[in-house]
Amino acid sequence: VLAPILAPVAMHFGIDPVHFGLIMVVNLALGMITPPFGVNLFAACTVARISLDRMIKDLVPFVLVVVVCLMVISYVPALSLTLRDLVYAR
């Protein structure tokens, strides 16, 4: 819902649309596994038949990895756009 609103703003500030899309997808993935609105977290708790409290302490390392990946993707755009630039040479 927010991508069509934020994409023109990001392009106005010089952010590549592919880079912006990657940042959006990783942020959404992070939001799907963290409370209070982590739909995937609640589904995993239901399937595994364990409480949310027990799941969260095991989830912390994964959330930290996703946050580090998000920071790398956000602050080093050349790393995430290299393959695109190699395939679609300008």
Residue 32 pLDDT: 86
Buried b / exposed e over 19-36, threshold 16 CB at 10 Å, is bbebbeebeeebeebbee
Dihedral of alpha carbons 74, 33, 66, 53, sign? positive
Residues 40-86 have pLDDT tens digits of 888 888 999 998 888 888 888 999 999 999 999 999 999 989 988 99
**Distance separating alpha carbons of residues 8 and 1, to the nearest angstrom:** 13
- With beta carbons less than 8 A apart as the criterion, state whether 34 and 41 touch: yes
What phi and psi values does residue 76 have, to the nearest 5 degrees?
A: -130, 75
pLDDT at 39: 82
* pLDDT of 90: 66
pLDDT band for position 16 (50/70/90)? Answer: very high
Please give the model's pTM, rounded to 2 decimal places.
0.80
Residue 22 has pLDDT above 90, yes or no: yes
